[in-house]
Amino acid sequence: MNTANHYDVAIIGAGMAGLAAGIRLAHFGKRVCIFERHNAVGGLNSFYALAGRKYDVGLHAMTNWVPPGTKGTPLGKLLRQLRIERDEFALHPQKRSRVAFGPAGETSLTFTNDFAVLEAEVAQKFPAQIDGFRALVAVVRAYDDVSLDAKPESAREIVRRHLTDPLLEDMLFCPVMYYGSATERDMEFGQFVIMFKALFLEGFARPLDGVRVILRVLLEKYRKAGGERRMKCGVKRIIAAAGRADRLVLDDGTEVTATHVISTIGAAETERLVERGAGSGEQGAGGADASRGDRSEPSVSAAGSPLLAPRASLDSHPVGRLSYCETITVLDRPPAALGWGDDTIVFFNDSPRFAYEQSGGAVDARSGVICLPNNFAYPDGADLPEGLFRCTCLANYDHWTRLPDEAAYQAEKQRWYGDIQRSALRFLPPLPTPDALARATLATDMFTPRTITKFTGHLGGAIYGSPVKIRDGRTPLANLYLAGTDQGFLGIVGAMLSGISMANFHVLAAKG
């Protein structure tokens, strides 16, 4: 074995899950390397610069915010496990958020980081439902959402045992789904509980400088613990032999070996890397595209679930169907100057029933999420250098990736930028003059499902990954584990906890 190219643990992907797993493992003396194809860390929660401006992707708000001193919540666990002091994340709580339903947001539920506000809103707007709502909240609070082997149940069914008004039901599902669900129309109840706690019982916060603050802290911890990383160098193939991930072929063609491999890139995405090898030479190491078509048998015959077996995976680990467009509008003044100073996040829907499902057309602008990153309670009047107005809607991956050429793609972006923004404006306080927004706009950008796949490698532009989650992270390859999106702890705090849990469970606490 070439020890220079051998790691105790190789981690695929430098997103939140990969970085968190890496910190744990390096802290406890493992030789760890994170392999990241992109030139920036963060994965689905990253950042970029365009025309001299810094933009965040992903993160609207960090969920799971609790006041300092609150014990036993995901944020506290995460900070402890990574030896991060709370102040390092420099989180500032939201002002308030809303769920606004109806063609002009006629029914609205305000919520803040104080759960009593939402409870009072439900009592006032849905008086007949408040007892059921309280009973539902009691069930949510009592649920063991970190269990790795809970049996799947329909969240809609459980919620309907307590709530009889479909409007309230949809209004609760809308934020919970938009901020983490890979499943159309319904969710697994455990996932619902994770998100309900993260959004409503806990809350939203953000560092003034956005997601890069969190990433900087993680990178510094990882570096100090002795972790290595290779940027712009993804893992091209995982060569399997004797039921194990025998070695990894990197994008630059070199090979490394690792006692354990943690993949954070998704279940189907990981499956596509796995190739049967005979333990020597180039066998089975053809081009990735050619080999995919050829394989008619599972790539490994290990016992256990058929994950990573090409055929079975199409059924049991389907590529997610939910993708998104987001418009980003940079303003020459804070949103408050347009009359939008109160809302941090607005979840909106204009239809009789909320349809969280793959968009039939390019974009489904009937529902969406508005984020105003200026509207957090930053200290001492601090604010972002410019105003930001972000809108996210469901979008169709196939539509955006099958446009005939680049000109058609750009034209489609232009068209939908306007349509998404117009849809969202219905749910914000009226502008002082009809052209006020256009006059305040300095720059715009927009991501589409195509952008997501290009920069994150997530198949189908599916930010939240596959609807089928693998809670214990196991794969048929004995030393290959999944963490991150497809392991199933949601949100960015969830992603980090996923990396931590899988590192603990499969590497640090493993027997032998």
Partner 1 sequence: MTKDACKQIVLDIIADIAPDEDLSNLKPDVRLRDQMQLDSMDFLDIVMELRKQHGIEVPEADYIHLASLDSCADYLTPKFEALGK
Contacting positions for partner 1 (CB under 8 A): 27-29, 69, 71-72, 76-77, 79-81, 83, 85-86, 500, 504, 508-509, 511
Tokens found for residue 446 = 């927009």
Q: Residue 75 or residue 250: which is nearer to partner 1 going by CB?
A: 75
Judge residue 108's burial from the number of C-beta atoms within 10 Å of its C-beta, 0-12 exposed, 13-18 middle, 19 or more buried: middle
Q: Residue 83 or residue 422: which is nearer to partner 1 going by CB?
A: 83
Q: Residue 209 or residue 472: which is nearer to partner 1 going by CB?
A: 472
CA–CA distance, 273 with 308 (Å, rounded to integer): 9
| Torsion over CA: 130, 342, 182, 215 (sign) | negative
In the complex, least distance from residue 350 CB atom to partner 1, rounded to whole angstroms: 43
CA–CA distance, 342 with 350 (Å, rounded to integer): 21
Q: Residue 90 or residue 312: which is nearer to partner 1 going by CB?
A: 90
In the complex, least distance from residue 206 CB atom to partner 1, rounded to whole angstroms: 21
In the complex, least distance from residue 71 CB atom to partner 1, rounded to whole angstroms: 4
In the complex, least distance from residue 265 CB atom to partner 1, rounded to whole angstroms: 25
Q: Residue 144 or residue 282: which is nearer to partner 1 going by CB?
A: 144
| Torsion over CA: 124, 204, 426, 395 (sign) | negative
How many CB atoms are closer than 10 A to CB 510? 10
**14 close to 42: Cβ distance less than 8 angstroms:** yes
Q: Residue 81 or residue 466: which is nearer to partner 1 going by CB?
A: 81
In the complex, least distance from residue 299 CB atom to partner 1, rounded to whole angstroms: 33
In the complex, least distance from residue 8 CB atom to partner 1, rounded to whole angstroms: 14
In the complex, least distance from residue 226 CB atom to partner 1, rounded to whole angstroms: 12
DSSP result, 348-383: EE-SSS---S--SSSEEEEEEEEE-TT-B--GGG--
In the complex, least distance from residue 80 CB atom to partner 1, rounded to whole angstroms: 6
**189 close to 154: Cβ distance less than 8 angstroms:** yes
Q: Residue 25 or residue 172: which is nearer to partner 1 going by CB?
A: 25
Q: How many residues does the chain have?
A: 512
457: Cα separation from own chain's centroid: 13
Q: Residue 81 or residue 487: which is nearer to partner 1 going by CB?
A: 81
For the stretch 34-55, what's the b/e string if a residue is b when 16 or more beta carbons lie within 10 angstroms of its beta carbon? bbbbbebbbbbbbbeeeeeeeb
Which has the closest alpha carbon to 192: 215, 219, 163, 213?
163
> Can you point out the beta strands (E) in 264-362?
274-276, 323-331, 343-349
